[in-house]
Amino acid sequence: MAKREPEERADNVSISITKKLANFCHPSSECCIFRMYDDLRRQNEKAYEPSIVAIGPYHRGKAKLKQMEEHKLWYLQQLLNREKNNSVNEYIKAIKELEERARNCYAETIPLESDEFVEMMLLDSFFIIELFRKNTRRLTVENDLIFQSHNIRTALRRDLILLENQLPFFILVRLFNMTKTDLDLEIIQIALKFLQFNAPGHKLEAPRGISINNIKHLLHLVHSCWCFKFAEMNRNATEKQLEFINSATELQESGIQFKKAEETNLFDVKFNSGILEIPSLTIEAEVGESFFTNLVAFELCPSYHAPKYVCDYAVFMNCLINSSEDVRILRHSGIIESWVGDDAELHSMWHKLFNITTTDTKKFSYSQVFNDVNNHCKRRRNRWIANLKRNYFNSPWALISFLAATVLLLLTVAQTIFSILSFGKGSFN
């Protein structure tokens, strides 16, 4: 009996592992919708949480988001009435054909039965499509609360580009094409018309030659449109060891001036002849922070392999903003327009963003800018001016003391000169 027990235990382990292997599915190459890592998520959990609508499985069923579930049904009903088709059979059939591919897009196994999963895809997809259509074609009705409230639309724009609140884009494309009319623009165009208000002070434009087949989800679409112009530029990244630049306050003390650049692309920072030109940035409360946080999170996903333009920009801004005084300097230069609160809150926002950011220092987008700025600051004359400002001009009393000492020194020198001249004249006589 004793000899058989190890064999029985081995059989049990074998059966257990066999079951697990049968249910195990390695992440597909199409996997593109992730949750943020727990340790990084805790840095700013609110930035990843939808406030009004759940899209996809990760936040499905949360109590605070239930009201919008009824709105999804209502939007589907309006679509069917407009299509003069009371049946959803053809749409369900289309999603079922794509179900396995859609499930493969999520990094986690989705614990929903096939019917539940298809229903979720149908309601969420048509809610988004109808929202975009209504915004473009003005198909609103009197009691549509979404288009009666600017705050609700702002919340929806924010929620639709959250990392954890995404649908596979090919599902949206399939259902959009099935219900498209001659009055509709292309899906990318209507999506950007609704989502463009998320971009902090900069219009979202579709890249030339963009293909709907290469878009993974709405967050990816926004990222692509926001970064494409910067990606086309020659960034002149250097392989030299990267040395971070000082804060805005310290750079200003070194004689560097800050100027709002006329360039429309947010990331296109230039440094010429002691002037750091930075495109203007508008940050709105919560929306702006969530926008940057989720774009950075997208670049940190395992499926992302392109240059980390948003991460690099976050590093650049975090270097400049080391205190609320740095924020004040950038505001007064017209570079930052903040609706977040006071300068300290904006400083805190960039600090939290930097805490989740990683970047490749050998491919850093601003390596040449950093090198040029640091070389400027290391010149003897600029370093002397910086020390003078830091030690003697950092407060009114220090300035008064410096001026008093300077006047005293000049009077002493003048007295000495007069004494020498008087002595020389007496000796001559």
* pLDDT tens per residue, range 111-145: 999 999 999 999 999 999 999 999 998 777 778 99
> Measured between alpha carbons, how far apart are the two ends of the chain, in Å?
132
Of 46-50, 222-226, 231-235, 371-375, the one with minimum mean pLDDT is 231-235
Average pLDDT over residues 203-221: 88
CA–CA separation, 303 vs 400, rounded Å? 59
Q: Give the count of beta carbons closer than 10 Å to the beta carbon of residue 341.
A: 12
Contact 221, 215 (CB under 8 A): yes
CA–CA separation, 31 vs 105, rounded Å? 4
Q: What is the residue type of 130?
A: E
Tens digits of per-residue pLDDT, 357-374?
A: 988 888 899 999 999 999
Cβ-Cβ contacts under 8 Å for 16 (sequence gap 6 or more): none
Residue 397: which H helix or E strand, with range? helix 396-428
pLDDT band at 387 (very low <50, low <70, confident <90, very high): low
pLDDT band at 20 (very low <50, low <70, confident <90, very high): low
The DSSP code for 28 is: P
pLDDT of residue 414: 74
Cβ contacts of 324-333, under 8 Å, gap ≥ 24: 325/249, 326/247, 326/248, 326/249, 329/248, 329/249, 329/252, 329/258, 330/248, 330/258, 330/278, 333/258, 333/259, 333/260
Specify the pTM. 0.83
pLDDT exceeding 90 applies to what percent of the chain? 51
Residue 241 corresponds to which tokens in the numbers above?
A: 């060891």
CA–CA separation, 427 vs 383, rounded Å? 46
pLDDT of residue 203: 73
In degrees and rounded to multiples of 5, residue 305 shows phi and psi of -125, 5
Q: Quick one: CA dihedral 209, 212, 218, 220, positive or negative? A: negative
What's the burial of 71, exposed, middle or buried (CB within 10 Å: 0-12/13-18/19+)? buried
Listing from the earlier edge strand, what are the strands of the sheet with 275-279? 257-261, 275-279, 270-272
Give the three-state DSSP class for 260. strand
Return the half-sphere exposure (C-beta side, CA atoms, 13 A cut-off) of residue 48: 20
- Our separate counts of H helices and E strands in the chain read 17, 5
CA–CA separation, 296 vs 44, rounded Å? 13
CA–CA separation, 110 vs 99, rounded Å? 11
Distance of CA 373 to the CA centre of its chain: 25
315 vs 240, higher pLDDT? 315
Tens digits of per-residue pLDDT, 157-166?
A: 999 999 999 9
